[in-house]
Amino acid sequence: MNRILFLPVVFLAGLALGATEKPNVVILVADDEGWGDIGWNNPEVKTPYLDKLAAEGVRLERFYANPICSVTRAALMTGMHTLRTGVENFNGLDLKYQTLPQALHDAGYQTWMCGKWHLGGAKENSHPEPEYLPTNRGFDHHYGLLGGAVDYNTHMKPKTQELDWWRNGQAVTEEGYSTDLLANEAIGLIQNRDKERPFLLYLAFNAIHGPISVPPGDAAGGKTRGRPALLAAMGGLDAAVGRVMAELEKEGLRKNTLVIFFSDNGGDITKGSTNLNLREGKGTVFEGGIRVPAAMNWPGVLGPGQKSEQFLCVADLFPTILNVTGVKMVSPPSFDGKDIWPALRGGQTTERPVFFMGNKEIAVFRPPWKLITSRQQQGAVPMLFDVVSDPSEKNDLSSQHPEIVQELTQAFQEYVKDIPQKARRGPGGSGGGGKKRPPSQQN
């Protein structure tokens, strides 16, 4: 039913042995990068290092994030759909959730974060308390921003002009382009690591989120705004990834390191992004808002040149990484995400159970079907798409397949029945749903 292309991969048996033999995990996240803002989808974009990463591993053609920044980050950290956690851009991740870095830290991993947190601890967040800082959520080290956006050069918040640049909870004033500084920090952590222990590196760039700045020395054709500036910033992110990958190679770590790359949501078309033929963009659960560029790379384990159409979402990464690393949690949660490593490892596809994307407007997936709905707008009319045959979502099939609409609606209602409405909704009132487009949601 899924109509999936998936080429063979090679699996290296016996990965999870002693602590020193456990694999390292590097998670690279771009901010607001659209479907057409990566070289492998659009030759206009020059991203040679990311293209190489994907070409030597697996391009994840059906990877789904959430429509806005913090919502995706919460799903990555918890393995839960955001309907459950209630996270949105201005409230933190509840302390009751054990995070991915906490699980790996408890298993002996070094855990480092460089970049954008956006899950609490910032002044403008409903949870500014220090308990919500990344260093109190499982990371040994954090360097970067706590909020949703900063100026790339001054590291100030765009609206308030307050400094938002931190090292382990202490504000730091430094000169430099944020993309380069984050890569420099990551490289330093790799160089100075405890070589007897594996590590998790979460490198979450603020690029290419607005307000976009071009890298030093890049004139962007004389343009400081719009797509030329965005392409220059994307080139800077790509070069930074290249430097980090080169350091892993120099240190002899590549063959024991799983690298995961994805964007936190679809492209913001108001800032110069393009999602090509995918419908709309950031802030919506149409394909342009949640289907994002993604890849996995692990030399000798994931064979090169693969293009996978296995459906998966950001909440799947936590349970998948647990499998990859062999880490066993003392009290494992009932993840919403699914471990998709057996499918990736074995070169096969797996029937994907129903999953949910979004926090206000909701997309319910049972591949190839996708239902767009909402519990917050009375009278919202659901929309149904076959996103495999119709990736542009031009043909609403809800009237032709009422039985599928009913099935997916019931699956959604069953999922949320035990979740408090406040958690489903989050602060800020209702978003869009059905055929009513939600307002643009920034950060």
Give the pLDDT confidence score for residue 360 in this predicted structure: 84
Listing DSSP states for 398-424 in one string gives: TTT-HHHHHHHHHHHHHHHTTS-HHHH
Give the pLDDT confidence score for residue 431 in this predicted structure: 32
Q: What is the mean pLDDT of residues 402-421?
A: 90
Confidence of residue 378 (pLDDT cuts 50, 70, 90): low
Any long-range contacts for 11-17 (C-beta under 8 Å, 24+ apart)? Answer: 11/301, 11/345, 11/346, 12/300, 12/301, 15/301, 15/324, 15/326, 16/325, 16/326, 17/326
pLDDT tens-place string over residues 305-351? 999 989 999 999 999 999 999 999 988 889 999 999 988 887 678 88
Q: What is the mean pLDDT of residues 238-249?
A: 98
Q: What is the mean pLDDT of residues 114-137?
A: 92
Give the pLDDT confidence score for residue 3 in this predicted structure: 35
| Contact indicator for 388, 367 with CB cutoff of 8 Å | yes
| Mean pLDDT over each residue of the chain, to the nearest integer | 89
Give the pLDDT confidence score for residue 13 in this predicted structure: 33
Give Cα 265 to chain centroid, integer Å. 7
Whether pLDDT at 11 is above 70: no
Pairing of strands 58-60, 306-308: parallel
Give the distance between the most distant pair of CA atoms in the chain: 60
Task: Return the residue matching tokens 């994840």.
Answer: 60
Token code pair at residue 309: 């159409």
Whether pLDDT at 16 is above 90: no
Closest CA to 9 of 308, 341, 303, 309: 303
Our CA angle for 153, 261, 389, nearest 5°, is: 120
Query: How far is 368 from 381, CA to CA, in rounded Å?
Result: 20
Whether pLDDT at 295 is above 80: yes
Domains of the chain by start residue, with CATH: 19-346 (3.40.720.10), 355-425 (3.30.1120.10)
Give the pLDDT confidence score for residue 91 in this predicted structure: 87
Confidence of residue 439 (pLDDT cuts 50, 70, 90): very low
Confidence of residue 362 (pLDDT cuts 50, 70, 90): very high
**Four-point Cα dihedral 90, 96, 97, 99, nearest 10:** 100
Confidence of residue 352 (pLDDT cuts 50, 70, 90): confident
Token code pair at residue 357: 């994307």
Give the pLDDT confidence score for residue 127 in this predicted structure: 86
Q: Is the C-alpha dihedral spanning 422, 426, 429, 435 positive or negative?
A: negative
Give the pLDDT confidence score for residue 95 in this predicted structure: 95
Q: Which one is predicted more confidently, 44 or 417?
A: 44
Whether pLDDT at 177 is above 90: yes
Residue type for position 313:
C
| Contact indicator for 218, 284 with CB cutoff of 8 Å | no
Token code pair at residue 420: 């408090």
How many angstroms separate the first and last alpha carbons of the chain? 36
Give the pLDDT confidence score for residue 204 in this predicted structure: 98
Query: How far is 77 from 96, CA to CA, in rounded Å?
Result: 12
pLDDT tens-place string over residues 258-270? 999 999 999 999 9
Give the pLDDT confidence score for residue 10 in this predicted structure: 34
Whether pLDDT at 435 is above 60: no
Give the pLDDT confidence score for residue 380 in this predicted structure: 75
Assess whether the previous peptide bond of 368 is cis (omega < 30° from 0). yes
Give the pLDDT confidence score for residue 217 in this predicted structure: 83
Active site residues: 69, 118
Q: Is 3 left (phi over 0), alpha (psi -120 to 50) or beta?
A: left
Angle between helices 69-78 and 317-325 (to 10 degrees): 40
| pTM (predicted TM-score) | 0.91
Residue type for position 191:
Q
Listing DSSP states for 335-401 in one string gives: -SS---HHHHHHT---PPPPEEE-SSSEEEEETTEEEEE-SSSTTPPPEEEETTT-TT-----TTT-
Assess whether the previous peptide bond of 211 is cis (omega < 30° from 0). yes
Q: What is the mean pLDDT of residues 174-184?
A: 97
